[in-house]
Amino acid sequence: MIKLIKRETHSHGQFLDIDLISQNSKLKDVSAVLKCIVATAVLIMVMVENNILFSAITAMTMAFITIKIGGVSASTYIKLMLMPITFIVLGTVAIAISISKTKVGVINLPLFSYFICVTKNGLLEALRVSVKALGMVSSLYMLSLSTPMYEIIEVLKKCRLPKVVIELMFLIYRYIFILLKMQAQMHVSAESRLGYSGIRQSFFSFTHIGANLLAVSFKKAGDYFDAMVSRGYDGELIFLEEESKITLRQSIYVIAFLAFMAVIMVIIKLKGLGM
């Protein structure tokens, strides 16, 4: 068996290492179980309520917890949020627009014999979906930016999640950072050779980096598997577990926070606020 010991993390190339941020978080000493409960409960609230105002309040609240209480810098948090925000915006564009033979929207762009229409209901639904997704992402970021991966794995094991799922999740998570590190090195190498000095050169560098990354990833997978076997891997990963005590003070804070969020949700629902 192979024992994966907790170690100091570091930044890979030019991208942010989430493990490093979580290791340095001021919320690191808070029980991982409680943080998972908070993230899951808030996630469910946002899904059930499906309200723009509540989702926005959730996003701001979780961002406040992550930045002000957790100690993550605002610039780092914004950088990490850029990628999910990009996917959210691209994903909700299809909701906002529709194609019609007549002008049925507040914005109508002609396209041959049709119109690309942006309707009021479409915009409202796109806004609802995007803000809802943002609230859910901020909840997950609160967890991932304050809880090291090995602690999350420990919680999942307590939840009786199948071992194969946990191991696959861990290996995929780690391999993402390995690929990002290789991509960063290839990018620097191409940039030093003026590989991005023009559109043609940039396209050439992009395609070749993609092809090389695919080839190198297979080689790295074999190398890392050999390294695991040489350290006694026999088909099961064993993670170092640290006893995480749930204190009364932490429990009170969690209960109070969830009660606060529940009260806000009820008030918004009863008053008919938001959309």
d(CA 239, CA 161): 15
Asked whether 118 and 105 are in contact (CB, 8 A), the reply is yes
> Tens digit of pLDDT for each residue in 16-26?
578 889 888 99
| b/e 80-114 (16+ beta carbons within 10 angstroms → b) | bbeebeeebeeebeebbbeeeeeeebeebeeeeee
Read off the tokens for 69. Answer: 């209480």
d(CA 36, CA 265): 20
What's the chain's average pLDDT? 86
Residue 224 forms part of a structural domain: yes
Residue 152 forms part of a structural domain: yes
> Tens digit of pLDDT for each residue in 65-85?
999 999 999 999 999 999 899
Domains of the chain: total: 1
Share of the chain above pLDDT 70, in %: 92
Q: Look at residue 121 in the predicted model and tell me its pLDDT.
A: 87
| pLDDT tier for residue 14 given thresholds of 50, 70 and 90 | very low
Show the domain range for 168. Answer: 1-14+148-244
Residue 232 forms part of a structural domain: yes
Asked whether 256 and 36 are in contact (CB, 8 A), the reply is no
Residue 161 forms part of a structural domain: yes
Tell me the pTM. 0.79
Q: What is the mean pLDDT of residues 85-112?
A: 86
Residue 195 forms part of a structural domain: yes
Q: What is the mean pLDDT of residues 238-261?
A: 87
> Tens digit of pLDDT for each residue in 143-193?
999 998 888 888 988 888 888 888 888 888 888 888 888 888 898 999 898
Residue 262 forms part of a structural domain: no
Residue 114 forms part of a structural domain: no
With 0-12 / 13-18 / 19 or more C-beta atoms within 10 angstroms meaning exposed / middle / buried, residue 174 is: middle
Residue 233 forms part of a structural domain: yes
